[in-house]
Structure 1
């Protein structure tokens, strides 16, 4: 599988200090609300390939706890102190912005080239509005955003997948639940193929939506929290092109400065973006 990873040069020397302050004040980066205990336990649960922790990412290397821990230090900015086992943990603002610049380069390339983009999310109250903003901007720039052409039912647990403002989500019993499962996007991609629709040129997503898509050989970029090692492992294995580290369950309007940064870097319209 081709590794399309883009330049990892840190762009923060050109980043306004106001953006760094905004991200850290919102606790999107810096001292985040995701507890250290969860960050550490999720590494092991990922290695144990528990449902909702593997994100549909096929392992192509032999990973152990120490290797994944070191990866999360290097790519996310969690504390490197192995004796620190409880309480506060961190996400590096510099790493978030460096990854966001790489994310923007990919999104801009595909959107401005008129590519077909599938947006999906397992975090309805945090990341869905963020993806909706990107979907609107990409479509305005000439991209084809993958939308519904009829109901797509998922047999398990009586749910289905549907899109909200251009972003695909898992729906069940009248609600849009939080999920890390790769099952919704697996069913969606299979149904699109059955209908004879072209696969997306890019998947922009989080959690199992991004992990499964990248693991299936589709070009994928996404967002992940410091307790989501699967997406960073997928990036290290060359399956997901960019994984942006941030707290993924903040009030959506607080992501606006980061959205604007990404759209400007992508060369996409940022005017009138509101969540």
Structure 2
């Protein structure tokens, strides 16, 4: 049995919450970028509110636990572990509701190395509960925009959690190829990459529609996965760091049902207790 106090101590010890690694300068820079509607931090959103820098800071202080002092410009910033635990309790309710209805679920992450295991744990439990864990457009190519230009990409799945992979060279007709020795050749896919873009979830949802399949009942993801799905009217929830105001704005405006505040870049094994706690609170411990 994982008590809330044990989880709280774990969050602090791993710096998932409390005094986190993301510096104050990084947080404020991204709040300013969001206020300017910089596409790099919008995650596909088109907010209804004005969301100037002061409003973003107020929201992040209230929902994430960063310092509310606008004069605090440098150094340490924080995520409130109480807010993290409460949000994980709410996430457990969403997961339990989806399991009870045997809803279809799409999992995806832009931080595959640290967060992939967290989502995969939830997906395994949802699958065991009778939910369809969807894997649309597996290895199907699509063109995605990066700061340095467009590149041919594909969705891969790690324990049924979608991750973005990039073709080393654009393959003919979208088909990956191997070299003569059986190793990777032109058109081989990269390892999963880091992205905040909403394009992968849009591509996954479009593939479902093209195949005549219904939308998922829930998208669990972060960054562009949560915001991109929520913006299209799909129930969405997931994880968000203190420098990712877009997910919290999406929650405030009703596009995303839940943003769980935490540092999204610590060691992968640190998130295992969080997924175990969510499943415990959902009555789905395996």
Length-normalised TM-score, structure 1: 0.90
Counterpart Cα distance in 1 of 2:231 and 2:46: 6
Q: What's the CA shift for 1:34?
A: 0.7
Kept in 2: contact 1:28–1:247 (CA 8 A): yes
Aligned to 1:5: none
Tell me the alpha carbon deviations over residues 101-140 of structure 1, each in whole angstroms, 9 at most, x when there is no partner: 1111011110232100000000011111111111101111
Aligned to 1:168: 162
Moved over 6 A (4+): none
Counterpart Cα distance in 2 of 1:103 and 1:19: 15
Task: Indicate which of 10, 13, 29 corresponds to 1:25.
Answer: 13
Q: 1:40 and 1:149, CA in 2 relative to 1: closer, same or farther beyond 3 A?
A: closer
Q: What's the CA shift for 1:175?
A: 2.1
Counterpart Cα distance in 2 of 1:149 and 1:35: 37
Counterpart Cα distance in 2 of 1:71 and 1:17: 26
Superposition map of 1:62-141 within 5 A: 62-141=50-129
Kept in 2: contact 1:112–1:138 (CA 8 A): no
Counterpart Cα distance in 2 of 1:108 and 1:126: 24
Kept in 1: contact 2:117–2:272 (CA 8 A): no
Structure 2 spans left out of the alignment, 5+ residues: 145-150, 169-189
Is the deviation greater in 143-152 or in 101-110?
143-152
Q: 1:68 and 1:150, CA in 2 relative to 1: closer, same or farther beyond 3 A?
A: closer
Give the number of aligned pairs: 257
Aligned to 1:200: 216
Q: CA RMSD in A?
A: 1.4
SS in 2 for 1:34: coil
Q: What's the CA shift for 1:149?
A: 6.1
Task: Indicate which of 255, 258, 261 corresponds to 2:274.
Answer: 258
Kept in 1: contact 2:222–2:238 (CA 8 A): yes
Aligned to 1:11: none
Aligned to 2:197: 181
Counterpart Cα distance in 2 of 1:51 and 1:187: 18
Counterpart Cα distance in 1 of 2:137 and 2:18: 41
Aligned to 1:223: 239
Kept in 1: contact 2:18–2:78 (CA 8 A): yes
